[in-house]
Structure 1
Amino acid sequence: MAVSNVQPTGIERTFGEDEIIISKTDSTGKLTYANNIFLDLAQYDEDEVLGQQHNLVRHPDMPRAVFKLLWDTIQAGEEIFAYVINMSKVGDHYWVFAHVTPSFDANGNISGFHSNRRVPEPGPLAKVKDLYKSLLAEEKRHTSPKDGMEASHKMLIDILTENDVTYDEFIFSL
């Protein structure tokens, strides 16, 4: 699938508190399963997403540093919880509270990843939005995307270190 030139519309899509977005990927992040709630929110047909990288729904307002932390964590065989803003096929956005876990084969090797996403709580989400604005501002201060992501990641790690918490502990303390 070609790189999308879709721009954010500013329109927020929502889903019910009783609904769970579910997706699965292989070990490289290519989608192998997406439930109907995922497809409806993302405004894609199943055949448009299966086999594509999960970052197909990445929103430009999502700090790359958070995705680095997420990928580093799950590739190390650990689970992670994170607030994520995604973008639909037409540029609408939706916020989720994600729980991402690695899947393992019979030999204990990571064979893919499984993600359940729920509606985020408004109070913690407001705090996350402020944090993400700061991380994005740091990323944009640098001409190199890699340097920006690394500086933003350091900023995030410094916040966690100052509070003597892991990322999950930080997220659940909000």
Structure 2
Amino acid sequence: MIKPTPKDEEIELDPKRYIVSETDAKGKITYCNDYFKEVSGYTEEELIGSPHNIVRHPDMPKVVFKLLWETISRGKNINAVVKNLAKDGRYYWIFTEFEIRKNTDTGEIIGYHASRKTISKYVIGVIAELYAKLLEIEKTQGVKASQDYLVKFLKDKGDNVEFANIMEEIHRFY
């Protein structure tokens, strides 16, 4: 599938509705609710079986997804602010709660559940600035340098601040 060309046009989300999706352990979509289809502009047939990065916006730094996958692969839930790309090229910001789904018999991770909701414009501004800096570093110095910058950014905010709870920390500091 060809990625849409991004437009500088934001989709305003309904603060009373949640975007919900589930993936298998490899990140392929296995479930999406009607609001996800509505906002993303994709049909259920286009979404089910596709990698969840079908909605990844090019403004998102790779390091965010690297750290996100590392965290959930270790069996830890995580929250993150993500800028997604709709099929028509518009974008939408969401606060996403990633929860691990496990096989009840074996305890093996079998997939992930994500529910998303709106986020304040102020927090989006803080995150957008941080993500732009991380993306700039990635383009010139690579993902490792971007991760080093993020770690330093978090350390500058206080002791024991980790990526796994970055969104709570950003809410706390801003």
**TM norm. shorter chain > 0.5:** yes
- Structure 1's consecutive aligned runs of 4 or more residues displaced over 4 angstroms after TM superposition are none
Give CA deviations for 1:44-84 in whole Å, capped at 9, x if unaligned: 00000100000000000011111111111111110111110
> Post-superposition shift, 1:161?
2.6
Contact 1:11–1:93 (CA under 8 A) maintained in structure 2: yes
SS of structure 1 residue aligned to 2:83: strand
2:70 aligned partner, one-letter code? D
Distance 1:5 1:75 in 2: 26
Indicate the residue corresponding to 1:49 in structure 2: 47
Distance 2:151 2:25 in 1: 25
SS of structure 2 residue aligned to 1:15: coil
Percent sequence identity over aligned pairs: 38
Count residues in correspondence.
Answer: 167
2:151 aligned partner, one-letter code? I
More moved, 21-30 vs 130-139? 130-139
TM score, norm. by length of structure 2: 0.91
Contact 1:81–1:171 (CA under 8 A) maintained in structure 2: no
Indicate the residue corresponding to 1:81 in structure 2: 79
Contact 1:22–1:34 (CA under 8 A) maintained in structure 2: yes
Distance 2:107 2:29 in 1: 21
> Post-superposition shift, 1:141?
1.0
Indicate the residue corresponding to 1:14 in structure 2: 12
Indicate the residue corresponding to 1:108 in structure 2: 107
> Post-superposition shift, 1:5?
4.0
Contact 1:139–1:152 (CA under 8 A) maintained in structure 2: yes
Give CA deviations for 1:142-161 in whole Å, capped at 9, x if unaligned: 3xxxxx12211121122223
Structure 2, gaps ≥5 residues long? none
RMSD: 1.2
Structure 1, gaps ≥5 residues long? 143-147
> Post-superposition shift, 1:32?
0.2
Which of 94, 97, 115 pairs up with 2:95?
A: 97
Give CA deviations for 1:4-24 in whole Å, capped at 9, x if unaligned: 242101111121111100000
Q: Aligned ranges for residues 1-174 of structure 1 at < 5 Å?
A: 2=1, 4-106=2-104, 107-142=106-141, 148-162=142-156, 163-164=158-159, 165-167=161-163, 168=165, 169-173=168-172, 174=174
> Post-superposition shift, 1:172?
3.4
Contact 1:68–1:153 (CA under 8 A) maintained in structure 2: no
